[in-house]
Amino acid sequence: MPDYAWPDTEHRTLIGKRIPRVDSPAKVSGQAKYTYDVRRPGMLYGKVLRCPYAHAKIISVDTSAAQKIPGVKAIHIVQQPGSTIFWAGDDVVAIAAVDEPTAEDAARVVKIEYQKLPHFVSDAEPPPNVAEPAVGPLSQIDIWDLELPEEQIAAEVRRRGVSFRATQAVLAQLRRFRMPEVIVDAIARAPYRPLTDETSGSLYQRVATETKGDPDKALVEAEVVSEGLYGCSVITHCCLESHGSIMEWPERNQLFSYMSTQGVSAIGAQLADPLNVPAANIRVHQDHIGGGFGSKFAVDRWHVAAAHLSRKAGGQPVRIMLERDAELEVAGARPSAYARVRVAAKRDGTITTWESRSWGTGGPGGGGMVPLPYIFDVPNQRKEHIAVRNNIGPGRAWRAPSHPQAAVITMGALNDLAAKLDMDPLDLWMKNLDIAGQRKETFREELGIAAELMEWKQKWQPRGQNKFGSLARGLGLSIHLWGGRGHASDCDLTIHPDGSVDIKMGTQDLGTGTRTVISVVAAETLGIPISAINLQIGDSQFPSSGVSGGSSSVGAVSASTRRAAIDARDVLFSKVGLVLNVPPDQLECVNGTVRVKNNPNNSLSWKQACSKLGVMPITVRGRNPNTVKPPDLTGSGVGGVQMAEVEVDIETGVVKVKKMVAVQDCGLIIDLKTAESQCLGALIMGISYALFEEKIMDLTSGRMLNANMQFYRLAGLADIPELVVHFMTGKGYDERGVIGLGEPPVISPGAAISTAVANAIGVSVPFLPLTPNRVLDALARKPGA
C-alpha cells in the first residue's frame, strides 16, 4: 500500500513555501473571465421586476403591454397573483430582451397590482413579555443556526416543519455539509410548510432557553458582576461580482449555465426539480467568481427565472446578473445578534456565571441564535434567545455563520468584566483558558505570540488612560474557533506519454487560492514544476467536489489531489522500474526526474519516464475522504487569536484602526502566501464590518436606504493599517493534516476592534458598526460624562 501521508519537512520542496497564486497574472491583466464578463452569441438580457413593498400580496399581473415591445423575447412570471411578498425587492416578473434598455422599458410597462400589508423592518430589542414560542417553519439557515443538542433540533424540525422542499438533492447537500443524520432524517419527514402569514406566528419568537449549572446560586456567590449590552447590526455580503447566471438550452432538454456560484457540482441537482429536467442534463460552468462569502450556495429565484426565459425564447442564452441595489437588498444579509449579558467572576478572575438575553433577525423566518458564550464554557449559564421575524430580506450564511456575532458579544462582555476586576483582559483570557475547549493550549501559545507582536504588555493601559488631546488609544483582543475539515472531493489526474499532466476537478476557486493549492500538491508529489500542471476546475462535468463553504475546500482538494498524484506516480514507477531495473518502491520523483532512491544517477528525466507509458495516457481518480487509502489527510478544529490597536477621536467619534495582529493555526499549510493573504483579506473585511457596514432600513417605507456603494460604506485602502499575520506551523500543527482557513480569521476582528475601542474611551460602544454617532452616544452615557 503506497504511503499517502504528507511529506515531512525535509522532503517538501513546495508545500509550506510562499508561492504566488497561479491565476494572478490572469486576474491582474483582466484576462480572467468572471460570469459577469461572459457574453454568449445571441445572448438576451434579463431584467427582474421587483416588488417595491416590504410586505404585500400580489393581486394581479398584466404583462400585455410589455409583450408588445419590439425586442422583448420572453416574459416569465416568477411569483403568481396570490403570492405573498415578504421583503422589498423580491422577484415578481422576469423579462428577456435583445438588450438591457429594451428589457427595462418592458419592465416599466408591466402592471402589477399589490395589496400592501403592514411591514416590520426593525430589529430593535423586543419589548418585555411579547415573545411566544416559535411556531414558524424552519429554513435551512434557521436549522443550521439552532444552537441546541441534535435531538432537540430534530424535535424542533418535526414540530415546526420546514419552509423548503426537502428533495433528495437538498438532503444530499445537507449531508455534504455534515449535518447530523438525525436532523437530516427529521427534515426528510417533516411537514412542508411554506412561509405564509398564517404559518409564521408571532413577530417575536422565543427560539431557545437553556440553563446549565446553577446560575442563581453562582450569581449570589459571585464577587464581581458585570452587565452590558453588545451586538452587531445586519450587514450584507456585498459581493463585488453580483449574483447571477447565463442560462441556455442548446437542446430542448439540455441546460448549460454559466453561474456565479460557490458550488458548481451542486447546482445541477438543485435546478433539476424546478426546471423538471434530469440533473444529468444540466451543465454548470464558472471560471472565476467575484465573492460569495456564503451567499452563493443555492439556486435563487433569478437563476430559475433565467432558465425559464431561455426556454421560452427557444434556448437562446439569457443573462440575469443582479444590479447593485438588488445585490445589496435581496442577495445576502448576515443576521444581526444583540444581547444583554450579565457575567460574574471571582476576585481572582475565574469566570463563574453567564446570563444572556439575546435577540436578532435573520429575516422573514426570524432565524436562529448565536452560540453564547463563545468558546468559554462557563460552568453556570442561563440563556434565552428571541428571533425577530421581519421584512428586511432573508438572511444567508456569512463567512463563519454566527461566530463573528458571538465573538463580539462574548469578548465585549468579558472585556467589561476585566475592567471591573481591574485586570488586563489578556490576563483574564489566560486565566480562563481551562474552559476554552479543545484548542486551549493553542490559544495559550497564540496569545503569547500575539502579545509579543502587538507589544501588548508595553502598550496596554487601563481604560481611558491613554489619551493625547482628543485622541484616545486602546488595545483589544479576541479568540476564535472553527472546524474546517475537507469535504468530499474527487480528482482526476492524467499523465500523458509526452510528460504533460492534467487535472480535472468539479471544484471552484473563490479567490482563496484553490487552483494554487491543487497545483502545489500535484507538483510536489510528482516532482515537477507547478507550471507543468494543466489544471481545469469550475465545471460540473468534472469529477464532483464539494461546495466551497465551511472552510472545507482546501482540506478536500489537497487530499484528493494527493491521492490521485500518488496513485498516478505509482503507475509510472511500475513502468520505469522495469527500465531502470529496480522495484517500483525504490523510485522517487524529484526535481523533474524519476530516480532510484540513494542512487540519484540512475534516473530518467520526467519526459523520458512518461514516454515509458506507451501510447496511452493514464488517468486515476483520487478521493477524499478515503478510509482505504489512509492516513486521513485533512483535519478539523483550528484556533486563532487577534489583537487590535485603535485610535478614537473623542470629539468626533471617528475610530481609526492603527494595527492588527492575527495569529492562526490551520494544520499543515500548503501555500503560506495564499494562507497569509486569506488572513489579510479577513482582517480587511473585519475592519469594514467593525467600522462601516450596516444594512440600514427605513421603518416607514420598508426599503433599504443604503443599497449602493456610496452609502453602503466599505473600508478603503486608506482605512487599512499595519496588518501582521503569524501562522502556527511545525510540530504539533503540521501533522494535523490540511485544515480550512476561509472563515476563521474573519471571526475575531470585530470583537478585537470593539474591545480596543472600549479600552480607549473607557466605555463599551454596544453595537457594531462603531460609527461616530454610536461612539459619541456611548461617551455621552458614560458614567460621570
Partner 1 sequence: MMRAFDYVSPSTKVEAIHLLETRWGKTEVLAGGTDLVALMKDDVVAPMRLVNIKDIKELKGIVSGREGLGIGALNTLDELADNEELRRNYPALADALVDVASTQIRNVATLGGNLCQRPRCWYFRKGFGLLPKDEAGKDLVSEGENRYHAILGNDGPAKFVSPSTIASALIAYGAKIRIEGSNGHREVPLNEFYRIPKTDIEREYDLRANEIVTEIVIPSAQDVKAAHYEVRQKEAFDWPLAVAAVALKMNGSRVLSARIVMGHVAPVPWRSAEAEQLLAGSIISEETARRAGEAGVKNATPPFAQCL
Residues of the shown chain interacting with partner 1 in the complex, contacts defined by CB under 8 A: 100-101, 104-105, 229, 323, 652, 654, 691-692, 696-701, 703, 705-708, 710-711, 713, 715-719, 766-767, 771-774, 777, 780-781
| Interatomic CA distance for residues 168 and 158, integer angstroms | 18
Nearest approach, Cβ of residue 711 and partner 1 (Å): 5
Nearest approach, Cβ of residue 202 and partner 1 (Å): 23
| Interatomic CA distance for residues 517 and 558, integer angstroms | 7
Nearest approach, Cβ of residue 361 and partner 1 (Å): 15
Nearest approach, Cβ of residue 767 and partner 1 (Å): 6
Nearest approach, Cβ of residue 65 and partner 1 (Å): 17
Is residue 230 within 8 A of residue 341, CB to CB? The reply is yes
If phi > 0 it is left, if psi is from -120 to 50 it is alpha, else beta; for residue 479 that is: beta
| Interatomic CA distance for residues 701 and 705, integer angstroms | 10
| Cell numbers standing for residue 657 | 484602526
Nearest approach, Cβ of residue 293 and partner 1 (Å): 21
Nearest approach, Cβ of residue 696 and partner 1 (Å): 5
Instruction: Pick the closer one to partner 1 by CB: 494 or 708.
Output: 708
Please count the other Cβ atoms lying within 10 Å of the Cβ belonging to residue 521: 31
Nearest approach, Cβ of residue 100 and partner 1 (Å): 5
| Cell numbers standing for residue 421 | 476586576
DSSP 348: T
Nearest approach, Cβ of residue 127 and partner 1 (Å): 15
| Interatomic CA distance for residues 553 and 510, integer angstroms | 10
| Cell numbers standing for residue 731 | 510540530
Instruction: Count Cβ neighbours within 10 Å for each residue of 506-517 and write b for 16 or more, e otherwise.
Output: bbbbbbbbbbbb
Instruction: Pick the closer one to partner 1 by CB: 1 or 780.
Output: 780
Is the bond into 425 cis (omega within 30 degrees of 0)?
no
Q: Which residue from 403, 415, 406, 423 is spatially nearest to 343, judged by alpha carbons? A: 415
Nearest approach, Cβ of residue 234 and partner 1 (Å): 14
Nearest approach, Cβ of residue 382 and partner 1 (Å): 23
| Cell numbers standing for residue 279 | 440533473
Instruction: Count Cβ neighbours within 10 Å for each residue of 750-781 and write b for 16 or more, e otherwise.
Output: bbbbbbbbbbbbbbbbbbbbbbeebbbebbee
Instruction: Pick the closer one to partner 1 by CB: 14 or 778.
Output: 778
Sign, CA torsion 304/305/306/312:
positive
Instruction: Pick the closer one to partner 1 by CB: 613 or 707.
Output: 707
Instruction: Pick the closer one to partner 1 by CB: 290 or 721.
Output: 721
Polymer length of the chain: 785
Q: Is residue 224 classed as helix, strand or coil in its secondary structure?
A: strand
Instruction: Pick the closer one to partner 1 by CB: 256 or 692.
Output: 692
Nearest approach, Cβ of residue 713 and partner 1 (Å): 6
Please give the angle made by the CA atoms of 112, 116 and 122, to the nearest 5 degrees: 125
Nearest approach, Cβ of residue 1 and partner 1 (Å): 58
Nearest approach, Cβ of residue 231 and partner 1 (Å): 9
Instruction: Pick the closer one to partner 1 by CB: 154 or 768.
Output: 768
| Cell numbers standing for residue 683 | 482582517
| Interatomic CA distance for residues 185 and 171, integer angstroms | 9
Q: Look up residue 131 and give its amino acid.
A: A
Instruction: Pick the closer one to partner 1 by CB: 321 or 537.
Output: 321
Instruction: Pick the closer one to partner 1 by CB: 185 or 323.
Output: 323
Instruction: Pick the closer one to partner 1 by CB: 329 or 645.
Output: 329
Instruction: Pick the closer one to partner 1 by CB: 105 or 248.
Output: 105
Q: List, edge to edge, every strand of the sheet that includes 655-665.
A: 467-468, 471-482, 638-649, 655-665, 722-728
Instruction: Write the CA distances from 716 to 186, 250, 684, 713, integer angstroms.
Output: 46, 43, 9, 9
Is residue 712 within 8 A of residue 233, CB to CB? The reply is no
For every residue of 708-725, DSSP letters joined together read: STTTS----GGG--EEEE
Is residue 318 within 8 A of residue 43, CB to CB? The reply is yes
Instruction: Pick the closer one to partner 1 by CB: 408 or 589.
Output: 408
Instruction: Pick the closer one to partner 1 by CB: 73 or 485.
Output: 73
| Interatomic CA distance for residues 212 and 573, integer angstroms | 59
Nearest approach, Cβ of residue 391 and partner 1 (Å): 15
Nearest approach, Cβ of residue 765 and partner 1 (Å): 10
Q: Which helix (H) or strand (E) holds 472?
A: strand 471-482
Nearest approach, Cβ of residue 304 and partner 1 (Å): 22
Instruction: Pick the closer one to partner 1 by CB: 135 or 720.
Output: 720
Q: Look up residue 659 and give its amino acid.
A: K
For every residue of 305-343, DSSP letters joined together read: HHHHHHHHTTT--EEEE--HHHHHHHS-EEPPEEEEEEE
Instruction: Count Cβ neighbours within 10 Å for each residue of 353-387 and write b for 16 or more, e otherwise.
Output: bbbbbbbbbbbbbbbbbbbbbbbbebebbbbbbbb
Q: Look up residue 710 and give its amino acid.
A: Q
Nearest approach, Cβ of residue 119 and partner 1 (Å): 12
Instruction: Pick the closer one to partner 1 by CB: 478 or 771.
Output: 771
Instruction: Pick the closer one to partner 1 by CB: 491 or 704.
Output: 704
| Interatomic CA distance for residues 79 and 77, integer angstroms | 6
Helices 181-189 and 168-176, interaxial angle, to 10°?
160
DSSP 407: H
Instruction: Pick the closer one to partner 1 by CB: 367 or 653.
Output: 653
Instruction: Pick the closer one to partner 1 by CB: 484 or 653.
Output: 653
